[in-house]
Amino acid sequence: MFDLHSIFSSNGMLSEHIPGFHVRSQQLEMAQAIADAIERHRVLVAEAGTGTGKTVAYLVPALLLGGKVIISTGTKTLQDQLFSRDIPMVRSALQIPVTIALLKGRANYICHYHLEKSLQDTQATFASRDEIQYLHHIARYAKNSKTGDKSGLRDVPENSGVWQMATSTRENCLGSECPHFKQCFVMEARKQALTADVVVVNHHLFFADVMLRDEGLSELLPACNTVIFDEAHQLPETASLFFGESISTGQLLDLVRDAKIEAIQGAAEVTALTNAIAVVDKSIRDLRLTIKEDNIRLSLAILKHNTDFCRALDNLLDKLTALVKLLESQAERSEGLENCRQRASNHLYVIQRWRDETKMRDHVRWIEVYHQALQLHATPLTIAEIFQKQMNASPRAWIFTSATLSVKKDFSHYNHEMGLAAAQTACWDSPFNFAEQALLYVPMNLPEPHQQQYTDQVVQAALPVLRASRGRAFFLCTSLRAMQRVHELLLQADEFDFPLLLQGQGSRSFLLDRFRALNHAVLIGSQSFWEGVDVRGDALSLVIIDKLPFASPDDPVLSARIEKMNNEGRNAFMEYQLPRAVINLKQGAGRLIRDETDRGVLMICDPRLTTKAYGKQIWQSLPPMKRTRELAEVEQFFAQREAK
């Protein structure tokens, strides 16, 4: 039996092999709690403040006694970091022969079949000449790569549309019928995952597989002894997405594109099929055009009053039904046409279910509109029972960990939402000295956030603080509209010559690299920069949050869940809306202090933090910073910092 005290001690294995390792009592206690949960096949919900070292805290017991372990992270970036750096580092320190595999969704792997089809397609349309070159880059990479993981090909931008021509989806994969099945990169990744001791996945992949039984985890889970969710605060949102049903115009257009290629290559003389594909293509695009707005969520109640949308959806159903019948008559000609028949039939079924009120009583139906696409969603009003069924399938340890899961160390909101009634909970504060390192500033005399000029006055309050900090700030906004307005006002501000970076002007990693290099920049962002961002040192000394991050009550899923809870006699604001806002705020605030030497100011502009009864609950959930409402104290804080 191993001794965790020895492993985590100042002269232990971790200290000897991991550069910069510090002994932290919180980290050891967390590792002990996780080891106990693994040994007893229990459920543990563990919050660990920034700087605790939670990754090493869960990796040590997982590698030593976890058996077959699945680790699920919030993003593919964290997934790659765990696989390439963290696990090999801890494995080397512990000197144990643990095998590791990385498993991503199939869209991350080149598909030989679809790449070949695209190269042969003489009628393919490309957005630019670059995309033609990109396709040939991908073809060369596919011949030499062992994994086929698109992240290994830096020459082709990750967001390039050409990847759709060289990868597969769950719908268009031919499976064992594929002529390239033996060389399939997805199947090879799954084989490695089946034999590995530790498999690293991400939340989207985990839940896609749990519901769709598609991505290889359905074979892994029965043999798995331990499941660890890192960044577990993201799970309610991800699980809601996958426990529901959805269909997008993008998926339908992918079907049209593939059906067109298969028809040309396998049934060129059947003009009725070609015509039916073109008609469906038009009806999909017509449906998107019925909604004028971009980046908006609309409830079914609102959509029922949009006669153009209702007519266009009926028209799409009619045209898709006709296409399914034609594909049925031609499907035996090729595996590709048969695959298109199955997909068209499945898409038709999902849209028909979405339209049928009797089939979706426990779901809220809504649509999400993007710049060029539209998605129909049916989201369950609660995910607790569905997730509980997955957990009860066989005995194993389930570990949920994040820096933000509780409200004042109370986990009842999270546990209730995830169906973790019997879970053990534990909380470890950050080892950082927040009272010395940070200051919480809530300015006086700001109006309520619903006031028309609120954002303008927030910027006026922020300007002297930005000057005192000499830039070096994140300005985090709760909406894209506010973000754009903040950027506009700072550009116009007098005696303000710090470099400005705006979310959307480049990838997140590009903007962060620029922010660090410029050293006195102000980065203005929305949701993308509230979490998963790590800037240490002087480059980030100030985090400004425009207002408390309550989700918009216009959101159709949120409003339906609020209505359900209130109808049950519960207080939806205190049980659901407030805890969610607290967890989001803790994520944003967590960008400020990232190590023992960081110092900075957290400025929260929302007056409700002091004027509302619930404000006390919110600031008591934040790290124990010194608090002030005086600008002079903020200026003095920065002046003292510069003097050191």
Q: How far apart are CA 287 and CA 373, in angstroms?
A: 9
**Contact criterion met (CB below 8 Å) for 171 and 114:** no
* Last residue in a domain, options 314, 346, 380: 380
pLDDT band at 564 (very low <50, low <70, confident <90, very high): very high
pTM to 2 decimals? 0.89
Establish if 100 belongs to a structural domain: yes
How much is the pLDDT for 456?
97
pLDDT tens track for 522-532 = 999 998 899 88
How many structural domains compose the chain? 3
Q: What is the CATH number of the domain that holds 533?
A: 3.40.50.300
Nearest to 135 by CA among 125, 548, 479: 125
Q: Domain containing 310: what range? A: 243-380
pLDDT tens track for 424-480 = 999 999 999 999 999 999 999 999 999 999 999 999 999 999 999 999 999 999 999
Read off the tokens for 512. Answer: 């962060």
How much is the pLDDT for 644?
62
Q: Are residues 292 and 217 in the same domain?
A: no
Q: Which of 399-403, 411-415, 530-534 has the lowest mean pLDDT?
A: 530-534
Q: Are residues 623 and 476 in the same domain?
A: yes
- Kindly tell me if the per-residue pLDDT of 214 is higher than 80: no
Q: How far apart are CA 543 and CA 602, in angstroms?
A: 5
Query: CA of 446: how far to CAs of 165, 486, 547, 610, in Å?
Result: 52, 16, 11, 11
How much is the pLDDT for 541?
96
- Kindly tell me if the per-residue pLDDT of 623 is higher than 90: yes
Q: Are residues 636 and 530 in the same domain?
A: yes
Q: Are residues 219 and 353 in the same domain?
A: no
Q: Are residues 311 and 328 in the same domain?
A: yes
Q: Which of 100-104, 380-384, 490-494, 506-510 has the lowest mean pLDDT?
A: 506-510
pLDDT band at 140 (very low <50, low <70, confident <90, very high): very high
**Contact criterion met (CB below 8 Å) for 459 and 486:** yes
Mean pLDDT of the chain: 91
Q: Report the pLDDT averaged over residues 359-374.
A: 90
pLDDT tens track for 111-122 = 999 999 888 876
Q: Are residues 74 and 204 in the same domain?
A: yes
Establish if 276 belongs to a structural domain: yes
Q: How far apart are CA 372 and CA 235, in angstroms?
A: 28
Establish if 216 belongs to a structural domain: yes
How much is the pLDDT for 213?
57
Establish if 158 belongs to a structural domain: no
pLDDT band at 508 (very low <50, low <70, confident <90, very high): confident
Q: Are residues 562 and 576 in the same domain?
A: yes
Q: Are residues 275 and 396 in the same domain?
A: no
Read off the tokens for 305. Answer: 């009053």
Q: What is the CATH number of the domain that holds 372?
A: 1.20.1440.60
Residue 362's φ and ψ, nearest 5 degrees, are -95, 15
pLDDT tens track for 173-209 = 888 888 999 999 999 998 898 899 999 999 988 888 7
Q: How far apart are CA 177 and CA 220, in angstroms?
A: 23
How much is the pLDDT for 147?
92
How much is the pLDDT for 217?
55
How much is the pLDDT for 127?
67
How much is the pLDDT for 386?
87
Q: Are residues 484 and 601 in the same domain?
A: yes
Q: Report the pLDDT averaged over residues 611-631.
A: 94
* Last residue in a domain, options 341, 364, 380: 380
Q: How far apart are CA 462 and CA 460, in angstroms?
A: 5
* Last residue in a domain, options 380, 401, 417: 380
Q: Are residues 443 and 368 in the same domain?
A: no
> DSSP letters of 152-207?
G-TTS-TT-GGGGGTB--TTT--GGGSTTGGG-HHHHHHHHHHH-SEEEEEHHHHH
Q: Are residues 559 and 458 in the same domain?
A: yes
Q: Which residues have CB under 8 Å from 496's CB, separation 6+?
A: 463, 466, 467, 490
> DSSP letters of 206-226?
HHHHHHH--SSHHHHGGG-SE
Establish if 21 belongs to a structural domain: yes
Establish if 198 belongs to a structural domain: yes
How much is the pLDDT for 415?
96
How much is the pLDDT for 368?
94
Establish if 127 belongs to a structural domain: no
How much is the pLDDT for 266?
83
Establish if 178 belongs to a structural domain: no
How much is the pLDDT for 558?
93
Q: Are residues 396 and 509 in the same domain?
A: no
